[in-house]
Amino acid sequence: MKRKFYHFLLGCAMLTAGGNSYAQAPQTRNCSTMDLYQNQVQADPDFLIRRNAIEAFTQKRINSGKVNQRTGVITIPVVVHVVYNTSAQNISDAQIQSQINILNQDFRKLNTDVSKIPAAFAGLAADAQVEFCLAKRDPNGNATTGITRTQTTRTSFSDAGDYIKYNSTGGKDAWDRNQYLNLWVGNLSGGLLGYAQFPGGPAATDGVVCTYTGFGNTGTASAPFNKGRTATHEVGHWLNLYHIWGDDNGACTGSDQVSDTPNQGNSNGGCPTFPKISCSNTPNGDMFMNYMDYTDDACMYMFTAGQKARMDAILDAGGARASLATSQGCVAPGGGTACNVPTGLTVSNLTSTAVTLNWASSGATSYNVRIKAISSSTWSNFTASTNSLGLTGLTASTTYEYQVASVCSGTTSAFSASYNFTAPTGGSGGGSTITVGTGSTGITQAPYGTYYMDQRVQYIITKAELTAAGYTSGSSLSSLAFYVSTAQSQVMNGYTIKLAHTTSSAFGSTSYLTGTNTTTVYSANYTTSANSWNTHAFSTPFVYNGTGNILVDICFNNSSYTQNSTVLGTNLGSYRALYKQQDVSSGGICTTTTGTRSYNRPNMKLTFGSGSRTQEITLGDAVASLSIFPNPVQSEMSLQYTLTDAKENVQVEIYNVVGKLVYTHKIGNKTKGEHVFAMPLQTGEMANLVNGMYICRLVNAGDMPQIRFVIAK
């Protein structure tokens, strides 16, 4: 939120609550930062001067436009000081590693719950480009696990006196704050969940403190703070982030010094329902899912670009924590590198039953790989010794996701973001449905941008992207789909899609491209549907040459407008989107020649096959009088058949590939001629059919025709 500036008297962020299954396990978050602040001012009169200087430097960096330009990742060495009185408080190495993994996921926007961000805020979510490792080298240059363990006679600690941070008071002395993030874990009294020291505080107490029941996501971690977000929140403070509501006790006048967070009246607890309105911040309300609010762990899952800018400033040259960027704490004494999260995930050698998974990483001794069908909640786990892994046993027409984590000496990275691919249809048909793009960026400008009357957009899909997504063969592109997270009721008149081949892999200028073999594949009045793939089944298939890049050209002309629909997309490293919006009631945008380039391109599903409908297959002397479209089927399929005579008790039967009858439906008595029967996949017994190939047979229709089709939900 960006409002009138005033300096916050914040020395820490303290989170308090009442007890549960473990001693004093907190159940709500509260804050009493002023007590600690007063203690710091009394102990160090220059503290406020340093805080003001740090804030002035931060604002100057942000105003200069030099932040958010970093392309590399900063890895911060962490030492975890476990201070325990009982064996239960002496948390395991695994619990500590789970917290490091969570920090890496949250600060790199790799957390799986990032998909829960409301569409109104999704485009603001940022990768902070900060990672964390358990230290491998201590301040004396010796090898370490990055974990210290201290048994204490103290039964509990609080923020008063920071006793957990000194050997002399039953705690553990801090390591050099210029080279490490000190993270203390112990039993905090009075329901205290955790607290942090902002940049500029005393060196001896610099770092983050968490209670042992609110650390990591295993072991002693207790709900509702058992997903590791206490440390994420507190490390945010340690990197100079304020509470999102500005600590003004509901006055609506405070500020977190961030321009892209909404004005908010006070902290939010529990799990609010979107939108949560305060301070007249309609229509989207509070950004309560931000890590710097006070919601439960399960309900916070984002930093913003503005918050990343503040973190950049504190870590950049001249910032209060700049020295951490060059720390050798993550490098073992004998050499080696930090255990980084793998990147560049792709697939190769993809068939209907097998695939080779590939990724980029360095410094790892091995890799943990997990894969599952996106419809499943259970992962299959594998270990690889190189940067690739061959697997068999895939199911045709099934979409999978996989993730990879680096295993280094003594530590393991967080899992990467998921990479999705679809196993192509088996047999000789050569058809498949593939998904290009796996990001969760909310895109409003196109292809359903109805905030303006008219729109034209072009997208480039490269052959390399098609191959990586699982394309192996198929000359006919029969449908295109975009995933809509937020829909609008505005009808887009004359919504037209053209496809063409292009040699361009990106837009080199703001001019629209002219491809070859241009085909108008779709034209209709269209309205979006929320939380689903919006599929455009082509009236004329596009004949793909199998080698070139594909140019998608979409336009529509309206005489009215509303808000934009939001689609999910991916931020790419090159310009593969070009769009223009305008309010001209007379139209004409479809012939415009220039637009605005963008790195953000929607995720797309494309269906390849041998034609706009499935091949028609018959048995014996049966005639080819049965067809299904679209194919593959995603939400509803239409059965078209022709009867040479009137028939009684016509029935549809569907069999799986091993010949088992899985669905029947009595159509009834039908007259001679052509008929169409709609079969939705979302209801009844059809909803139980999993992705794969099936055979549809028409019974009591004379020649009893049958046809193969694919379900790809």
Active site residue 674: no
Q: Bridge partners of 699?
A: 651
- The alpha-carbon radius of gyration of the chain (Å, integer) is 29
Q: Position 457: which residue type?
A: V
Residues 560 and 448: beta-carbon distance below 8 Å: no
Following DSSP, what letter does each residue of 286-328 receive, concatenated? --TTBTTS---GGG--B-BHHHHHHHHHHHSTTSTTGGGGG--
Number of helical H runs and strand E runs in the chain: 7, 35
CA 146/CA 217 separation, integer angstroms: 19
Q: Bridge partners of 419?
A: 402
CB neighbours of 103 closer than 8 A, spacing ≥ 6? 78, 131, 132, 228, 231, 232, 235
Residues 342 and 361: beta-carbon distance below 8 Å: yes
Residues 322 and 178: beta-carbon distance below 8 Å: no
**Of 373, 255, 347, 368, which Cα lies nearest the Cα of 310?**
255
The three-point CA angle 139-140-142 to 5° equals 105
CA 176/CA 191 separation, integer angstroms: 29
Exposed / middle / buried, residue 5 (Cβ in 10 Å: 0-12, 13-18, 19+): exposed
Region at 474 (left for phi over 0; alpha for psi -120 to 50; beta for the rest): left
Per DSSP (E only), the strands in 72-171 are: 74-84, 130-134, 147-151
Pairing of strands 549-557, 454-461: antiparallel
SS3 654: strand
Q: Report the side by side order of strands in the sheet with 647-656.
A: 661-670, 647-656, 692-699, 706-711
Residues 116 and 301: beta-carbon distance below 8 Å: yes
Report how far apart, in Å, the C-alpha atoms of 669 and of each of 97, 282, 577, 646, 706 are.
66, 56, 51, 8, 19
Q: How long is the chain?
A: 713
Of the listed 55, 131, 234, 465, which one is catalytic? 234
Q: 493-520 b/e with 16+ CB inside 10 Å = b?
A: bebbbbbbbbeebbbeeeebbebeeebe
CB neighbours of 442 closer than 8 A, spacing ≥ 6? 117, 119, 120, 121, 122, 123, 485, 486, 566, 567, 568, 569
Beta-carbon count within 10 A of 22 CB: 18
CA 509/CA 597 separation, integer angstroms: 8
Structure tokens at 368: 């943990």
For 533-590, the three-class secondary structure string (H helix, E strand, C coil) is EEEEEEEEEEECCCCCEEEEEEEEECCCCCCCCEEEEEECCCCCEEEEEECCCCCCHH
**Residue 107 φ/ψ, nearest 5 degrees:** -80, -15
Residue with tokens 């801090």: 174
The residues annotated with a catalytic role in the active site are 234
